[in-house]
């Protein structure tokens, strides 16, 4: 049951939503600390950060449910500060789906349309179109409790999309689903949002989800956006050691060790750029772990004060997979070293 393609879900074309210098304090807690973010029309941006970094607060500000202490949100030259939530054209999908338990699927999807005063016949056509879009045609009369988690999530999505929002906010919409369903739905959601050309901000603390869903990822920490980029550019050049660590890039050489090697600040070592080379650096094998298709070797060299873990396909090792204590020579190209700056 896939998500279909979506004609007829409109959004304002070609206009970027600008968030500038947005701050929000709760007593002593600085939940948002000068947030700048661009949300282009027709694109999904993932907002990625650990729990408590301010993601939900930013969503509430964008939805108009919360006023910033400072800063602005602009769309098409209009300051949205004093535009009430119901007039912002914002659709929301929440972690717990927040479906209305007393309404059936069709009633849930029609909810925003009733509020907007759509005629019954237009409403019915739109509900049918949305259910077709999310692959739930035929389930119009079901109540939410009789749906699976994945189906509830699709109803919540259909309900948010029905009134043609100019911004779709997704607040950890997949985090209550199990891993396999989550991966499947995040791929489907990415395809659907791409087809719809909808402006969307997808909040998650899961980097895998962020990288599947969005072509732009904004990494947030302690109320600030610390880096924005494509998944590839973030992996290639994380702005500091914290971002590198948060993205799960393991081969971080802390500043102290990096200095021993002649570098000025902490470094990221792109171990995946190592290649077998008889004239390369000599490593000793300290652990061998067989993964599904790859082998992970824990390697030590006299030249460095740390171990590295190197993943390789066995067929790339012409002399076979080495054993514990064996030697292996690898070329470490210059571009395997990426500077993470002096301040972590
Ligand atoms: P996230 O969504 O990234 O988990 P939140 O935006 O929920 O983060 O919270 C950011 C910070 O603001 C946290 O320290 C949180 O405790 C605090 N916070 C959020 N909402 C409120 C509130 N209504 N009152 C007091 N503190 C809050």
DSSP symbols for 137-177 = TT-TT--GGGS-HHHHHHHHHHHHHTT--SEEEEESTTTTS
Task: Answer positive or negative: Cα dihedral of 333, 266, 217, 246.
Answer: positive
The answer on pLDDT for 19 being more than 80 is yes
Q: What is the mean pLDDT of residues 174-184?
A: 81
Length of the chain: 344
Q: Is the pLDDT of residue 344 over 70?
A: no
Which atom of ligand 1 is found nearest the CA of 32?
A: 10
16-236 and 253-339 agree in CATH topology: no
Residue-range domain boundaries for the chain: 16-236, 253-339
Which CATH superfamily groups domain 253-339?
Nucleic acid-binding proteins (2.40.50.140)
Determine the 3-state secondary structure of 105 from DSSP.
Answer: helix
- Give nearest CA residue, ligand 1 atom 6: 54
- Cβ(32) to ligand 1 under 6 A? no
Q: Is the pLDDT of residue 142 over 90?
A: yes
Check if 57 has its Cβ closer than 6 Å to any atom of ligand 1. Answer: yes
How many alpha carbons lie under 13 Å from residue 100 in its C-beta half-sphere? 13
pLDDT band at 10 (very low <50, low <70, confident <90, very high): very low
When the pLDDT of each residue in the chain is averaged and rounded to a whole number, the result is 88
More confident residue, 11 or 180: 180
Q: Which CATH architecture has domain 16-236?
A: 3-Layer(aba) Sandwich (3.40)
Listed residue (158, 36, 14, 170) closest to 99, CA to CA: 158
From CA 239, how far away is CA 262, in angstroms rounded?
20
**pTM (predicted TM-score):** 0.77
Q: Ligand 1: does its nearest atom lie under 6 Å from the Cβ of 23? A: no
């Amino acid at each position: 049951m896939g998500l279909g393609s979506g004609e007829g879900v409109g959004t304002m074309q070609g206009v970027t939503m600008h968030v500038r210098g947005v701050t929000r304090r709760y007593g002593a807690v600085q939940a948002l600390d000068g947030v700048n973010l661009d949300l282009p029309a027709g694109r999904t941006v993932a907002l990625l950060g650990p729990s408590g970094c301010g993601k939900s607060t930013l969503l509430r500000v964008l939805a108009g449910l919360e006023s910033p202490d400072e800063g602005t949100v602009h769309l098409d030259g209009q300051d949205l500060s004093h535009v009430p939530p119901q007039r912002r054209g914002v659709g929301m999908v929440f972690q717990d789906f927040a479906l209305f338990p007393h309404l059936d699927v069709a009633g849930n999807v029609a909810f925003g349309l009733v509020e907007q005063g759509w005629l019954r016949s237009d409403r019915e056509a739109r509900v049918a179109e949305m259910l077709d879009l999310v692959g739930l045609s035929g389930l119009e009369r079901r109540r939410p409790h009789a749906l699976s988690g994945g189906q509830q999530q699709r109803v919540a999505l259909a309900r948010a999309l029905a009134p043609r929002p100019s911004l779709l906010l997704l607040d950890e919409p997949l985090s209550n689903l199990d891993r396999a369903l989550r991966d499947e739905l995040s791929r489907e959601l990415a395809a659907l949002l791409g087809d719809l050309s909808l402006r969307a901000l997808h909040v998650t603390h899961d980097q895998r989800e962020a990288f599947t869903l969005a072509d732009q990822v904004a990494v947030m920490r302690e109320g600030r956006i610390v880096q924005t980029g494509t998944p590839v550019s973030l992996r290639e050049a994380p702005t500091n050691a914290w971002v590198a660590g948060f993205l799960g890039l393991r081969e971080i050489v802390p500043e102290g060790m990096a200095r021993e090697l002649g570098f000025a600040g902490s470094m990221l070592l792109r171990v995946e750029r190592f290649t077998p080379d008889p004239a390369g650096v000599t490593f000793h094998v300290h652990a061998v772990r067989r993964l599904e298709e790859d082998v992970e070797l824990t390697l030590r060299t006299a030249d460095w004060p740390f171990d590295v873990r190197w993943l390789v396909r066995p067929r790339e090792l012409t002399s076979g997979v080495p054993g514990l204590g064996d030697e292996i020579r690898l070329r470490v190209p210059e571009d395997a070293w990426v500077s993470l700056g002096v301040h972590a």
